[in-house]
Structure 1
């Protein structure tokens, strides 16, 4: 091992994991920790005083109250040399708690030794709404377990699939409205929701099914898909769609890509950034083009699959290497 490699290994911080492993941020934090060779701690009190520590943070994982979440992270940062990756970065479409969340994220950034986001889009949101001119790094979410070369079998050709938690703005209702338009033009499509309701949004399922039934659109809600079954479930739908409006970074889009699918994704700064990062993996749409894009996909099913040989990087090992390099650069 070279001196440089030893120094990089030495600065890999403890990883503090908060929340259940079913939460996307917690699961991702554990994957990064494992790939980077980090020690994992579940209780902040077990972190050695003054040691380097890393936290993948969304305020809701720390506390339901953004202000309390910021205070807890500040307390932690006084005990350890804390670096953070910010998830679910505040945006004006967050609703009534937007100002509280921006203040909280600003405090978290100022308390940390260094900070990262998963996209330049999120980095810009932090600078615009949370801390002006703060200097963070960007380490994109990886694609894991991707296999676009695998066979394409047992596809339910007329099913429009939406993956992930159900909550306002995730795009389920827009997909259902588009399905109604398609059915009027002779396409016998249905909607399959691969996921369950997000916490405190259980009524969204009933509302989605009521409004869809009124439009004559069959909607199937599977509930949470077990991790071992996600890939097959994503490969089974006819057309994958990611229509959520309030996007800062999207694990669900990456899950589609990992399953070999080329999803239809709502056009946004983040979507364009990811389309440039991984050419040939996304088809973008806006409000006026969703229905024609869906029609194209139904007529040309091959367009919903990623071509074999497409570069899907970064992979998890690339992400871990980027983190190790970053931690080494801020260790002093």
Structure 2
């Protein structure tokens, strides 16, 4: 009898990595594989005598889900992994890079420890694989499974009550919210700014910063806070110009959320976005990676909003089915 493949998911459902972990599990279950959710009690007890005998347990990992510091996260994650009788594989998100600043060394140590303890390692882009090799551990092989495009395509609005420029996802430095708002200085103040999401813990001050910049130019500014899936789809459809000016992206669930809904967000030309467009042509509008290019791209989007919607014939890749099949194949290869 084939042993089930376990998925242990750590963290609140509102966190992007946690939401994606559930999406992978849901896709794998729908695909027909014997994938199961691992209950929290399995790792909160010292004895696993009654635990299901999994072929492997898979965990989606980013350091902040496991501790306030990378060192604390490392202790917590390795302790969890050691409690399973089955081998443990990981998907590593938010790979360390120089933009981490003084935290980079500690974060790299965390990711290296997690990878060395794992039976297999997945990252979400070839760009992340290159970052892992350069800044974590080039001796550890990783598999690339791009983030899935999964969601409901929203209905195109025939007329917007208000013209808006929107950024999707948690607010934190480098995500591009302030840069986008400042790039709107060339636009009529009647064009509003909207941030679809809530500030990351510790970065609540960014809401005040955005409101101040907007007020100084007489522009409307809205930070929606957390949105349910239905609310997010509605707001995605309402935004006139979707923007993803993330300064240090290595893989982006925010871009995927726009694209899965049928929007064509403005993105800077980076190693990751070039990889994305090579895999899925026509899903984004790319501009040079500069504030000046962003200003021009936003102005063009306001002038021609139809260009911010993807052609209905475009099918982004990979789909949920493709990701489920790949995860199933890899986890079975690594299982005991």
Confirm or deny a common fold (TM above 0.5). Answer: yes
- Corresponding position of 1:41: 38
CA distance in 1, matches of 2:95, 2:52: 28
5 Å matches for 1:256-271? 256-271=258-273
How far the C-alpha of 1:76 sits from its partner, in A, is 3.3
8 Å contact from structure 1 (residues 240, 256) kept in 2? yes
Alignment RMSD (CA, Å): 2.0
CA distance in 2, matches of 1:57, 1:159: 34
- Corresponding position of 1:252: 254
* Aligned with 2:236 (options 212, 234, 237): 234
8 Å contact from structure 1 (residues 264, 284) kept in 2? yes
Where does structure 1 lack aligned partners over 5 or more consecutive residues?
1-5
8 Å contact from structure 1 (residues 91, 98) kept in 2? yes
Where does structure 2 lack aligned partners over 5 or more consecutive residues?
30-34
**Number of equivalenced pairs:** 320
- State the SS of the aligned residue for 2:164: strand
Moved over 6 A (4+): none
CA distance in 1, matches of 2:72, 2:198: 28
* Aligned with 1:179 (options 170, 179, 184): 184
5 Å matches for 1:156-195? 156=161, 158-183=163-188, 188-195=190-197
Give CA-to-partner distance per residue, 1:163-205, whole Å, 9 cap, x none: 111111111111111111223xxx7422111111111111110
* Aligned with 1:82 (options 51, 69, 88): 88
8 Å contact from structure 2 (residues 59, 90) kept in 1? yes
- State the SS of the aligned residue for 1:108: helix
CA distance in 1, matches of 2:304, 2:147: 29
CA distance in 1, matches of 2:175, 2:161: 23
- Corresponding position of 2:32: none
- State the SS of the aligned residue for 1:243: coil
Give CA-to-partner distance per residue, 1:284-308, whole Å, 9 cap, x none: 1221311111122122211100001
Q: Residue 39 and residue 49 in structure 1: after superposition, are their counterparts in 2 closer, same or farther (change >3 A)?
A: closer
- State the SS of the aligned residue for 2:102: coil
